Amino acid sequence: MPVSNAEDEDVKPEGSQYVVVDGGHLLHKIVWRQQATFGAIADRYVQYLNNKYGQDIAVIFDGFPDDDKKSTKNCERLRRAAHFSPGVMFHEETVLQYTKEKLLANECNKKRFIELLKKALQKANICVQQAVQDADLMIVNTAISVVPQYDYVRVVGEDIYLLVLLTSLASTHTLFGQGKNKFISLFLKHEELLNRAATFLNPQAATEQVTEAGENVLVALYGGDPATQNLDELRYHSFVKAAAKTKFNLARLPLTTDAAQLHAMRSYHQVQTWLGNEKDPLKWGWMHTP
């Protein structure tokens, strides 16, 4: 089951297809035109989904629990909302007066718009769900549940946690034979990496096991050999090759080992949270902020 990202969303598969879309990802796909009504903006999302993915679609949004003050997800929301954004009352006929970024930076505005958008999607017979808190587990479970009914199932989103969870859960399902996505091909080529991915499901995994598993997967993803290379070596060799070109993008270089370890620890904490295993975030890559 391929995982879509910004680079491969336009791939058109043969056979029947079901698409599960991360609602948070979807919000960023449409440009909000000034002086448009909120109803017209919602209709553009419906048109976008139908034109791009057809009729068999599920859109799943994060929830916004009021008692979620200490979660890592809420910490990220608070960080993004650090700049003041006013609360705005609006409905379908209200004309947009703010930029999308400014309006959605306010949590109440975002909740209100998602409710408006959900109604528009449901009216167009698009399946809509909203998680109690974080949507990623519901997204992956929804995708897995429809695999027997379709030739091709796509998950559209950009969250690294979503990718880790999909990989971990897929290691216990027969999903990797479908599609030609690079990530899936990676696990077909390196079957031992499935065991590495399963580390993220183990509630007793040690920090060293998690960080090693994460680095092994990333080394393979960037074209290296996990048995003989680490990310820092791969990053250096990739830089040397890239520097010989007239143009290159530093953002395409592999992560440093330190950055990869932090990603792996946070991903493990998130997966364990989804599985109902409470872990101290301070021991898994998070820290207190003032």
Where do the domains of the chain lie?
17-158, 162-283
Half-sphere exposure for 24 (CA within 13 Å, toward CB) = 18
Q: Give the residue, 180 or 284, on which the prediction is more confident.
A: 284
Q: Give the residue, 40 or 240, on which the prediction is more confident.
A: 40
Q: What is the mean pLDDT of residues 199-228?
A: 87
Q: What is the pLDDT of residues 226-285, one digit of tens each?
A: 888 899 999 998 888 888 887 877 777 888 899 888 888 988 888 888 777 889 988 998
Q: What is the mean pLDDT of residues 186-204?
A: 74
Q: What is the DSSP letter of 147?
A: G
Q: What is the DSSP string of 170-235?
A: HTTTT-TTSS--HHHHHHHH-THHHHHHHGGG-TT--HHHHHHHHHHHHHHHTT--TTT--HHHHH
pLDDT at 7: 40
Q: What is the mean pLDDT of residues 10-24?
A: 81
CATH homologous superfamily of 17-158? 5'-nuclease (3.40.50.1010)
What residues contact residue 30 under an 8 Å CB cut-off, 6+ apart? 41, 44, 45, 48
Does residue 46 sit in helix, strand or coil? helix
Q: What is the mean pLDDT of residues 39-44?
A: 98
Question: pLDDT over 90 for what percent of the chain?
Answer: 33
d(CA 104, CA 86): 10
Q: What is the mean pLDDT of residues 142-163?
A: 76
